[in-house]
Amino acid sequence: MLLGLGGVALVLVAAVALSLGVGSGHVPLDDVVAGLLHPDRGNRAQLIVQEVRIPRTAAGLLAGLALGLAGTVMQGVARNPLADPGLLGVNAGASVFVVFAISVLALTEPRQYIWFGFLGACLAAVLVYGIGSMGREGATPVKLALSGAAVAATLSAVTSAMLLTDGKTFDQFRFWQVGSLTGREGDVLWQALPFIAVGGVLALALGPQLNTLALGDDTARGLGQRIALARLGAAACVVLLCGAATVVAGPIAFVGLAVPHAARLITGPDYRWILPYSALLAPASLLLADVVGRLIARPGEVQVGVMTAALGAIPFVILVRRRKTVEL
């Protein structure tokens, strides 16, 4: 397993190198290296590396790590192979708060309204968990899935209603909604980093608990597992990671759904290994999708939120056809 993890790490390093060296505009290799080590502010090519490609690559690493771990934790705690960060209404909550910030509060800069997206993601997840926890059985996987679907549908309807009555807000919102790594300022990434760090450590620590929960609630209780505490920790982890990923890159879909399946194909059902594999595979996948999006529409580009869905659909269909990849 460690050898395979090292191989995945090399893939991530290669993805980072491509993200820094390849783009819609040509930058010579020596300027890429100089832009990383000692940039000349008067050199346009080196300035592109320093001001555009480095923040973009950092955003891909942070968002990918957060989405990969969040999706893995959700599939484990929900015992649902189709669970992803959207299951808790995270994306819907983020969207409705971003629209509110743009339309009602008249915030026009992404660095101003993206933190409303984080707040909306957190509140939506808390609301879903609270509804799903009602009753004697507590937050069962089925109740979490149903409450998440209900909350997401309601919040999406509110978002649509606000956008239909405000065309100017829609023009701004649609660029955020598609999911993108461009235009992310360094201070925003630094502010999101602590949330991702705490959520990532918590996710990696949940591996043994997720293995026990995968056996079923009755078996987990028999083995001494404190189910409510484990699910609460998982919910906190997902809130931190999904909220921060929304801040960094917007509501990018599919990465949190597909990557855990790819990791499970390599590692088997042990979450102690699925989690670190997902933490490396997800940012590599996101960066590679972003690089392809830059190349296929030169001199423009296709946003990464579109590319992850377009490039990931066929491999995901192949993965889910393998029975062992959907067993939890």
Sorted by where each begins, the domain ranges of the chain are: 59-173+183-325
Phi-psi region of 138 (alpha: psi -120 to 50; beta: other; left: phi over 0): left
H or E stretch covering 326: none
The confidence score (pLDDT) of residue 322 equals 62
Quote the longest CA-to-CA distance of the chain. 66
**Joined tokens for residue 248:** 């960094």
317-325 contacts, C-beta under 8 A, 24 or more apart: 319/258, 319/261, 319/262, 319/265, 320/81, 320/261, 322/265, 324/264, 324/265, 324/268, 325/81, 325/261, 325/264, 325/265
The confidence score (pLDDT) of residue 319 equals 61
- Asked if the peptide bond before residue 299 counts as cis, ω within 30 degrees of 0, the response is yes
The confidence score (pLDDT) of residue 282 equals 95
Rg (the chain; Cα; Å): 20
* Nearest-angstrom CA–CA distance, 183 and 38: 22
Residues 6+ apart with CB under 8 A from 38: none
Q: Could you tell me if 283 and 57 are in contact, meaning their C-beta atoms sit under 8 angstroms apart?
A: no
The confidence score (pLDDT) of residue 327 equals 46
SS3 of residue 322 by DSSP: coil
Measured torsion, CA atoms of residues 51, 119, 109, 302, in degrees rounded to the nearest 10: 60
The confidence score (pLDDT) of residue 220 equals 80
Architecture of domain 59-173+183-325: Orthogonal Bundle (1.10)
Burial of 215 (0-12, 13-18, 19+ CB in 10 A): middle
Q: How many CB atoms lie within 10 A of CB 15?
A: 24
Q: Could you tell me if 183 and 109 are in contact, meaning their C-beta atoms sit under 8 angstroms apart?
A: no
The confidence score (pLDDT) of residue 8 equals 94
Residues of the chain with pLDDT under 50: 323-328
